[in-house]
A and B are shown apart, each in its own frame.
Chain A
Amino acid sequence: GQNIDQPTEMTATEGAIVQINCTYQTSGFNGLFWYQQHAGEAPTFLSYNVLDGLEEKGRFSSFLSRSKGYSYLLLKELQMKDSASYLCAVRDRVDYKLSFGAGTTVTVRA
Chain B
Amino acid sequence: GAVVSQHPSWVICKSGTSVKIECRSLDFQATTMFWYRQFPKQSLMLMATSNEGSKATYEQGVEKDKFLINHASLTLSTLTVTSAHPEDSSFYICSAHNRNTGELFFGEGSRLTVL
Contacts and interface: CB of A to CB of B under 8 A. Distances in A.
A99 B108 CA distance: 19
Interface in A23-79: 31, 33, 35, 40-45, 48, 50
A38 B101 CA distance: 25
Interface residues of A, number: 22
B43 A96 contact: no
Contacts of A48: 102-104
A87 B36 CA distance: 14
Interface residues of B, number: 21
B44 A43 contact: yes
B49 A95 contact: yes
A96 B32 contact: yes
Contacts of A45: 103-106
Contacts of B46: 97-99
